[in-house]
Chains A and B, each alone.
Chain A
Amino acid sequence: MSYCKQEGKDQIIFVTKEDHEAPSNAELVEDDPNDPYEDHGLILPNGDINWNCPCLGGMASGPCGQQFKDAFSCFHNSKEEVKGSECIDFFRGMQECMQKYPELYPQEDDNESAPSGEAEAEAVLPADSTSSDSVSASVPTSEEVASGTESPATS
């Protein structure tokens, strides 16, 4: 049984699990998907890739940024059956560039197409990562804590 008390201007409510089982009747304002101010995920409303997405980490802005953008754009626009199969050259160029900066792009065994990131990353990303594997592009993950990630939660 929950209860409530007041300490001056502050109100305190204690609730049990059962109290919160009923769905909330709080009303939230509906989001406008085309809001120009809103931060968009990986894919913008017009279909373009949001290079500034925190989910990409520093991939689009580093020394190999141009190669990464070329490869990823090609992949994104690819309509082949095996997505991105015609982009092999771009990915190779990107990989060559990345090998020049092993410190920045550590070569990891797990092939992920982009660093693990924000909840903002669209579902496209997981799909991309599986496909990019087939293109044998090993895009190393690069940590990006600076991209406004959720707070490092303690256990």
Chain B
Amino acid sequence: MADLPTTTTYLETSQQDDTGVPSPTINTRGRFLLRHERTPQFVQPAHMSSGPSGGGGENTLYFVLVGATCLAGGAYAYSTLVGDRERYQQRITEIESRSSKPAAEPSTPAKTQPETAAQAVSEPTEEPVSEAVVEPSIAEPVQEEAPVPEPAAELVTEAPAPEAVPEPPVAEPCLAEPVVEEVTPEAPVLEAAPELVVASEAPAPETPASEAPAPEEPAPEAAASQEPDSGAPTPEAPAPEAPVPEVSAPEAALEESAPEIVPEPPVAEHLVAEEPVTEALVTEAVSAEPLPAAEAEIVPETPPVTQSASEPASAAASTAVEPTHAPYLLIGGGTASFAAARSIRARDPGARVLIVTEEDDLPYMRPPLSKELWFSDDPTVTETLRFKQWNGKERSIYFQPSSFYVSPTELESVENGGVAVLTGRKVMHMDVRGNKVKLSDGTEISYDKCLIATGGIPRNLQVIERAGDEVMKRTTLFRKIEDFKALEKVSRELKSITIIGGGFLGSELACALGRRSADLGLEVVQMFPEKGNMGKVLPEYLSNWTTDKVKKEGVKVLTEAVVKNVTYKEGKVEIKLKDGRVVKTDHVVAAVGLEPSVELAKSAGLEIDSDFGGFRVNAELQARSNIWVAGDAACFYDIKLGRRRVEHHDHAVVSGRLAGENMTGARKPYWHQSMFWSDLGPDVGYEAIGIVDSSLPTVGVFAKATAKDTPKAATEQSGTGIRSESETEAVAGSVAVGKAAPTPPPQQKEDYGKGVIFYLRDKVVVGIVLWNVFNRMPIARKIIKDGEEHADLNEVAKLFNIHEE
């Protein structure tokens, strides 16, 4: 509309000027104008005489266009010239930084040559000093190296030795110098060999020399990284000549000693490529660490045989052979991390994924730790950690056996990539700008893409933390495999266990222990502040019903119990509640929630969500351009349900998988709604999806109990104790206050055998619980995805066929 006045005015003006028929070019507009003639007032005030139409205007237009084009062209040319200089600088710095993290594949040796050259060019300007220092040292060690070509060769053949991060050249001249020509066994590697050769610093015949570099080796780089290697170790351009002769000497020696390692042609090539060699030599000499790394580089393509041969010799330097760079770095070794690793490997063929975990175990799944593992009849279950699934098949809680993973030292070199797990290391510091992390043992690992899947640690009650060592010794914060093993032992040895917490974990553990209580002569107590089990998840009527079921499992349930203080008295842990009740027990299990692990947020500069906790990420689980977060620690935006943080197993799988997809370029938001489930004994098993919060209004549709659905029937089927049976008999006999129902009057204690519960927010279904109804999750997922307002939820419930099995 804004255009109109001007156009019409223009036209009108032209009309006025020409006082004739509008020119053909403006015919349509002219007609338009005519239509608007009725509103001259509207048009008139916008007097905008744009000058005479026709010849004069056209010329001006031409000049303007041509002038603008010239200006634009000139500006572009200028900016390109300026930008070129900047880009060149950037490239140089990029190459230099890349030299510290060998990432190139051995298959690109050709590339290494020019790069080495480039590096050599830039290096000289940087390290003239270091060179000098290195020179003399090179001379010496070189001689020494000769006699020990064997160990050197072996060291060289070590699995991808970590690319030596450009260590201060001055450091360990003796180490650096052992620039024993690393005779790369492979021909292809030869091209890159010049650097390697130099780098093949024979790990100092002395063990100390090898040890020194070893600890410092951050990450072995594949052979490809060789070129960066040469760049990394502050190449000393100047001293090519001196080292060269020395290099050749050891080379010759090496050749003799390790014929298989030093193919003749490669050596010749080395000598031929003097320039690059010298550069490499220089660089190698500089970095003591790189030496072992260089070896690794050369080795990457070496068949495992050579590597194994070098194992014994490289034993001393084996600690050095660890990755310094991972294209995909996953922090945390839990469910989300594993799902992401799998997703990345499926989508990016040959991907190299490194998982760094604080725990000593390979990735495993948590739900069986509080359910299936306790129901196992196998006495060795704590060792085997195997359980029987719902379909009868047995499996281990570990997602994959250890043979699935490649060793971290081989990650860079293995042909088709793989997943490596670095256990027992915690990531302490994250440098987002530099794309690298620092581990608890000082190692630095750089990455291209990073996933944070650190999960969380169990919360503890303040009263327990303040209660002293004796109480803490008798308290379990249940989450990991070792917690399961410890609690299993406790359940067999002690007489009374108290669980504080009435949520998923607390209730599941209570039921699991309660089941064993009769056999073990164990007293199981559960206490929580809510009115019933799962009080924050299930509507009150259902929560009460569930609490009864838990009690039937043999658990002493104390509801509305708030712990005031905990002390250790006369060999027992004494828990005093606010309302005066006292519980004396042998062991306490605290299941009071999870604290997301967000320590990295500080160093990484990532946002933490104040409402839900955890790292704040967008709908595609991204925190920064190269950083994703998944699992318990991620507070993400759910397009359908809003911002939330979910602590369930399936969510970890779904979000881990999504993060993996997005790390390989999928750019998908959180769309597939995750579900969760819980089993509380033989009567109560439910699956749920979406926001299942008991504070929301709910509509529950239950199948009217028939004789077949009574708990008694269920218990008979599952073969539980007699106590349950007698209880239900008593219930059935009570007189019920029924509504006007022709069928047998509903019992006072209503039986919620099976059904569907809808959770509503503004009349839209945002959560669904399938109560003892299984294999209907896809329908539930669809209803939530639609996000429609349904007038009659009974009609929606019909979709679930709750009466059928």
A and B: interacting chains:
yes
**Residues of chain A whose beta carbon lies under 8 Å from any beta carbon of chain B:** 1-3, 5, 7-17, 19-20, 22-29, 31, 36-39, 51-52, 54, 56, 58, 60-63, 65-66, 69, 101, 103-104, 116, 119, 143, 145-148, 150-155
**Chain A residues whose C-beta falls within 8 Å of the C-beta of B350 in the assembled complex:** 66
Answer whether residue B144 sits at the interface, using C-beta atoms and an 8 A cutoff.
Answer: no
CB distance from B213 to the nearest CB of A (A): 31
Task: Find residues 328-380 in chain B having any chain A CB closer than 8 Å to their own CB.
Answer: 335, 338-339, 341-347, 349-350, 365, 367, 372
The answer for the CA separation of A132 and B359 in the assembled complex, in Å, is: 41
Tell yes or no: B703 within 8 A of A by CB. yes
Q: Is the CB of B685 within 8 A of A154?
A: yes
B345 & A65 in contact (Cβ 8 Å cutoff): yes
A151 touches B687 (CB 8 A): yes
Write 13 A-B pairs (CB below 8 A) sorted by A numbering.
A2-B794, A10-B540, A12-B541, A15-B797, A17-B803, A20-B801, A27-B788, A28-B799, A37-B671, A51-B347, A61-B346, A66-B349, A154-B682
B786-A28 in contact (CB<8A): yes
Extra inter-chain contacts (8) besides given A52-B660, A65-B349, A104-B404, CB under 8 Å = A3-B746, A7-B541, A10-B700, A24-B795, A52-B661, A58-B342, A62-B400, A152-B372
Q: Cβ of B698 and Cβ of A36 under 8 Å apart?
A: no
Say yes or no: is B389 at the interface (Cβ < 8 Å to chain A).
Answer: yes
B707 an interface residue at 8 Å Cβ cutoff?
no
Residues on the A chain within 8 Å of B801, using CB: 20
Which residue from chain B places its CB closest to the CB of A17 in the assembled complex?
Answer: B803
What is the size category of the interface that chain B forms with chain A? 35 or more
**Minimal beta-carbon separation of B48 from chain A (angstroms):** 47
Cβ–Cβ contact B653 & A146, under 8 A = yes
Report the Cα distance A101→B405, complex, angstroms: 11
Q: Which residues of B contact A (CB under 8 A)?
A: 335, 338-339, 341-347, 349-350, 365, 367, 372, 389-391, 393, 395, 399-401, 403-404, 406, 416, 418-419, 539-541, 650, 653-654, 657, 660-661, 668-669, 671-672, 674-677, 679, 682, 685, 687, 697-704, 717-718, 739-743, 746, 750, 774-775, 777-778, 782-783, 785-786, 788, 790, 792-799, 801-803
Top 9 A-B pairs, shortest CB-CB distance = A151-B677, A61-B345, A152-B390, A24-B798, A153-B774, A154-B685, A51-B346, A37-B671, A26-B795
Contact of A13 among B654, B742, B794 (CB under 8 A): B794
Q: Contact: A143 with B395, CB < 8 Å?
A: yes
> For A28, what are the chain B residues with a Cβ–Cβ distance below 8 Å?
782-783, 786, 788, 799
* Complex Cα gap A20–B754 (Å): 14
Complex CA–CA separation, A77 to B746 (angstroms): 60
Contacts of B349 in A (CB 8 A): 65-66, 69
B704 touches A14 (CB 8 A): yes
Secondary structure at chain A's binding surface: helix, strand, loop or mixed? loop
- Please, how many angstroms separate the alpha-carbon atoms of A116 and B395 in the complex? 14
Q: Which B residues lie within 8 Å of A146 (CB)?
A: 335, 338-339, 342, 365, 399, 653
Whether A11 lies near B699 (C-beta < 8 A) is yes
For the complex formed, measure the closest distance between the CB of A98 and the CB atoms of chain B, giving whole angstroms.
Answer: 11
A4 CA / B699 CA spacing, docked (Å):
10
Which of chain A's residues has its CB closest to B674's CB?
Answer: A148
Partner among A5, A22, A24 whose Cβ is within 8 Å of the Cβ of B739: A5
Q: Are B746 and A14 in contact (CB under 8 A)?
A: yes
B386 CB to nearest A CB, Å: 11
A27–B796 alpha-carbon span in the complex (Å) = 8
A residues near B365, Cβ cutoff 8 Å: 145-146
Residue in B775, B788, B798 whose beta carbon sits within 8 Å of that of A22 in the complex? B798
A119 cross-chain contacts in B, Cβ below 8 A: 778
Contacts of A150 in B (CB 8 A): 675, 687, 774-775, 777
Contact A13 B699, CB 8 Å, known A63-B418, A69-B349, A154-B679: yes
User: Measured between alpha carbons, how far is A93 from B400 in the docked complex, in Å?
Assistant: 22
